[in-house]
């Protein structure tokens, strides 16, 4: 029962952070301008930056549910693993679900990056990802 309450509580907090603001879930790239002056866009034109900003917003809207599901599954998995006697089967199932969600999000991110490269061939791919929940060199 506590795990369910934790998931619901954390989901509400996470949803608030994924609203397109500059919450901690998205890191410094969210918000107006996506840190243009810090080199994420390098020497792109204003038109390229505008198009990339639009694609980025579309990406965040399209992946909101997926990111929320991933976060919720990770919370439930961590709750299971912190038990004195975690259920191996349940933990394995949850990890499988987390891995699938990460894979799905990685695929969506790849699609975004390919679209971004079509808009701006010099787009800096090294800064893409999805934050503290995987993605390596990512900022969000």
Any domain includes 17: no
Burial class (CB in 10 A: 0-12, 13-18, 19+), 138: middle
- What CATH number does the domain containing 91 carry? 1.20.120.1490
Any domain includes 22: no
Any domain includes 29: no
Q: What domain range includes position 60?
A: 1-8+48-120
Any domain includes 32: no
In this structure, what token pair is assigned to residue 137? 């060199």
Query: With 70 as the cut, is the pLDDT of residue 127 above it?
Result: no
Any domain includes 109: yes
pLDDT digits (tens, 9 = 90+) for 104-125: 999 999 999 999 999 988 776 5
Q: What's the domain count of the chain?
A: 1
In this structure, what token pair is assigned to residue 109? 């991110």
Any domain includes 41: no
Choose between 139 and 67: higher pLDDT.
67
**Coil, helix or strand for 91?**
helix
């Amino acid at each position: 029962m506590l795990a369910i309450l934790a998931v619901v509580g954390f989901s509400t907090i996470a949803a608030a952070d994924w609203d397109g603001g500059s919450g901690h879930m998205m890191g410094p790239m969210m918000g107006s301008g996506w840190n243009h002056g810090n080199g994420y866009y390098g020497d792109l034109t204003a038109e390229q930056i505008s198009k990339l900003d639009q694609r980025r917003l579309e990406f965040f809207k399209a992946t909101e549910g997926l990111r929320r599901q991933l976060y919720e599954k990770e919370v439930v998995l961590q709750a299971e693993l912190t038990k004195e006697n975690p259920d191996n089967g349940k933990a394995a199932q949850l990890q499988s679900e987390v891995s699938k969600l990460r894979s799905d999000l990685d695929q969506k991110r790849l699609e975004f990056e390919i679209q971004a490269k079509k808009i701006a061939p010099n787009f800096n791919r090294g800064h893409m990802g999805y934050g503290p929940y995987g993605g390596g060199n990512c900022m969000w």
